[in-house]
Amino acid sequence: MKRLALGRGGRPLRIGYGRIFHEANTFSPLPTEREAFTEFHHVEGEALAKAATLRGSEIVGYMPHAEMTGFVQACRLAGDVETVPLASSLAVPGGPLTREVFDWLVDNLVDKIRAAGPMDGIYLALHGSMEVLGEDEAPEAVILRRVREALGEGPRIAVSYDLHANLSAGLVDPVDVLIGYRTNPHWDLAPTGFRAGNRLVRTLRGQCRPVHAFRKLPVVLGGGTTIDFMKPMRAVFRAMKALEKDPRVLSASLFMVHPYTSAPDLGWAVHVSTDGDLALADDLADQLADRAFAVRKVPLPPMFTIDEALDEVRGDMARKLGPVTLIDVDDIVGTGAPGGNTRFIQALAKDDRGLLSYVTLHDPRLVDELWDAKIDAVHPVTFRGTPGYEQPPVEVEATLVKKTTTDFGRTLRLDFGGTRVIVAERPPLPIHPKFFKAVDLPVRTADLIVQKNFFHYRLFYATTSFRHLPVVSDGASSLTRVRERKYAVPTWPGQDPESWRRYDPILRGLTKREPARVAEHREVLS
Ligand SMILES: [Zn+2]
């Protein structure tokens, strides 16, 4: 009798698991190609099963234990579940995927599902803010439809999304279990997979019957820094956790979107799943939407222009204790921007204020031009940044001090005045001081370092850099572009919609991206 209760029809449950994960920045001129996955994270079958253990490393160089590991642990704990590793693919944020790479990813996952034979369910870790060139539907909706076709009608589907997902009916309706990250920045990938696995197993055993309600809010920025443990979001995240303590509630999630996509239905969303009680799910979703909407007007910390920031650093004696960090808010490589912004270099070339400054630049053309040039010699140099990024060219006479190969491809160090520019073939992310060490630049002696990242670098600079200034320039993660792009309904912060209730049904109705509207958006975006 016990085995009947644990497994299904006297046999263990069989559940597949996999991942297709990418966060797109529509303003980046660099499309995401296949190598972005194969060179970073693309693991299948037995190799995936091995990676998704407590001893394994699930996403090498990124996170040892993520959703797949959490999911497998939940199944182990539940007992009598056979987990079937399918395929897991993840690339760092970048421009939209090409059609070719998207088809390759989905075809591969579908092939693995068909080859796996009959399964009771499947768990997929998806992002929710993918974008594919020429695809007018949310890519995750396409993935779920293809997966459903391959599985047939019977098996149940559990999905987890990044907290920055843009929820829509195509992402909600096909799934039985829906879980979102609940920390920002995201450290809870493994717990997310665990929660998804736990709900899926319980659903398959008939121990719960998930029903869903979700609401869309006409908000794309707001809630201050949106960090889950800081004001004002702390209270919202606490409320969600409290909701999940109610045995009638299976999950409660808030999705705060990746604001740099061209989705016409872009907007925050809340999602509540209950055990068979749709009226309760509706009611709690409304309450949660009210809470989230109420904090939309809490602003981000004030930001500096480049010249203001350089003046600030010059006047700040604290820089003697360690470099001041200038966060290049408009060119954040971690949000898919290419890191090819030349505007800091432009300002420093004009007036470096006697500061020792470290700046990184994605400029593959310059790497090509100078790779064979003489070391320790002065060369006429034009910094142009990422091809197609429309950055101002900056001409200087610079000394080529070093040529080396890093995680970001061929890399050069060019010095002029007090400025040290590290030019890389691929979008550079100087999160760790070793990035600068590779070009013989100790971080402690710098007056300032330009970072292309909001949070993670702070872990590695905790004892080095004590002041962090957000700086506005112009690039793919520009919040001005987010504010000023076109939306289907009045959307905060460009406009104040005053109520979310009026626009929720309209946003939820925009399941297909109308080609005309998408073209219109792209025009505004470009
Ligand atoms: Zn995210």
Write the CA distances from 77 to 6, 56, 72, 248, integer angstroms.
Answer: 11, 18, 9, 22
The letter for the amino acid at 405 is T
For residue 318, the SS3 value is: helix
User: What pLDDT is recorded for position 63?
Assistant: 87
Distance 94 CA to ligand 1 centre (A): 13
Question: Burial code of 127-140, b = ≥16 C-beta within 10 A, e = fewer?
Answer: bbbbbbbebeebbb
Q: How many CA atoms lie within 13 A of 404 on its CB side?
A: 13
194: Cβ–Cβ under 8 A, 6 or more apart, which residues?
70, 71, 73, 74
Helix/strand/coil percentages in the chain, nearest 5: 35, 25, 40
Give CA angle at 258 (255, 264), nearest 5°: 95
Question: Which H, E and C letters describe 71-104, residue by residue?
Answer: HHHHHHHHCCEEEEEEEEEECCCECCECHHHHHH
Neighbours of 334 (CB within 10 A): 21
User: What does residue 482 show for φ and ψ, rounded to 5 degrees?
Assistant: -65, -45
Helix (H) or strand (E) holding 421: strand 419-424
Tokens of 40: 């970073």
Distance 334 CA to ligand 1 centre (A): 10
How many residues appear in the chain?
526
Q: Are strands 324-328 and 467-472 parallel, antiparallel or unpaired?
A: parallel
**CATH code for 2-208?**
3.40.50
Residue closest to 252 by CA, chosen among 269, 228, 276, 234: 269
Distance 162 CA to ligand 1 centre (A): 5
Cβ–Cβ under 8 Å, residues 466 and 318: yes
Q: How many CA atoms lie within 13 A of 306 on its CB side?
A: 22
Distance 21 CA to ligand 1 centre (A): 11
Distance 261 CA to ligand 1 centre (A): 13
Distance 66 CA to ligand 1 centre (A): 14
User: What pLDDT is recorded for position 513?
Assistant: 55
CA–CA separation, 482 and 373 (whole Å): 41
Distance 335 CA to ligand 1 centre (A): 9
Distance 14 CA to ligand 1 centre (A): 30
Helix (H) or strand (E) holding 481: helix 479-484
Distance 23 CA to ligand 1 centre (A): 8
Residues of the chain within CATH 3.40.50 domain(s) are 2-208
Distance 91 CA to ligand 1 centre (A): 13
CA–CA separation, 387 and 364 (whole Å): 8
Distance 238 CA to ligand 1 centre (A): 19
Q: In the chain, what is the straight-line distance between the N-terminal and C-terminal CA atoms, in Å?
A: 63
Distance 351 CA to ligand 1 centre (A): 37
Distance 524 CA to ligand 1 centre (A): 24
CA 118 to chain centre: 33
Q: How many CA atoms lie within 13 A of 338 on its CB side?
A: 28
Distance 184 CA to ligand 1 centre (A): 7
CA–CA separation, 229 and 235 (whole Å): 8
Give CA angle at 214 (213, 220), nearest 5°: 170
User: What pLDDT is recorded for position 5?
Assistant: 45
Distance 159 CA to ligand 1 centre (A): 15
Distance 259 CA to ligand 1 centre (A): 11
CA–CA separation, 150 and 152 (whole Å): 6
Neighbours of 376 (CB within 10 A): 8
What does the DSSP 8-state code read for residue 116? H
Residue closest to 343 by CA, chosen among 381, 379, 389: 389
CA–CA separation, 106 and 112 (whole Å): 10
Distance 88 CA to ligand 1 centre (A): 18
- Record the pTM: 0.93
CA–CA separation, 154 and 204 (whole Å): 11
216: Cβ–Cβ under 8 A, 6 or more apart, which residues?
167, 168, 265, 267, 268, 269, 500, 503, 504, 507, 508
CA–CA separation, 418 and 421 (whole Å): 10
Distance 267 CA to ligand 1 centre (A): 14
Distance 223 CA to ligand 1 centre (A): 15
Distance 461 CA to ligand 1 centre (A): 22
**DSSP string for 136-172:** -B-HHHHHHHHHHHHH-SSSEEEEEE-TT----HHHH
CA–CA separation, 264 and 485 (whole Å): 10
The one-digit pLDDT tens for each residue of the chain (526 residues) are: 344 445 566 789 999 999 999 999 999 999 999 999 999 999 999 999 999 999 999 998 788 999 999 999 999 999 999 999 999 999 999 999 999 999 999 999 999 999 999 999 999 999 999 999 999 899 999 999 999 999 999 999 999 999 999 999 999 999 999 999 999 999 999 999 999 999 999 999 999 999 999 999 999 999 999 999 999 999 999 999 999 999 999 999 999 999 999 998 999 999 999 999 999 999 999 999 999 999 999 999 999 999 999 999 999 988 889 999 999 999 999 899 999 999 999 999 999 999 999 999 999 999 999 999 999 999 999 999 999 999 999 999 999 999 999 999 999 999 999 999 999 999 999 899 999 999 999 999 999 999 999 888 999 999 999 999 999 999 999 999 999 999 999 999 999 999 999 999 999 987 555 444 444 544 444 4
User: What pLDDT is recorded for position 4?
Assistant: 40
Neighbours of 523 (CB within 10 A): 9
Write the CA distances from 498 to 128, 218, 495, integer angstroms.
Answer: 26, 9, 9
For residue 188, the SS3 value is: coil
For residue 263, the SS3 value is: coil
User: What does residue 424 show for φ and ψ, rounded to 5 degrees?
Assistant: -125, 155
Helix (H) or strand (E) holding 402: strand 394-406
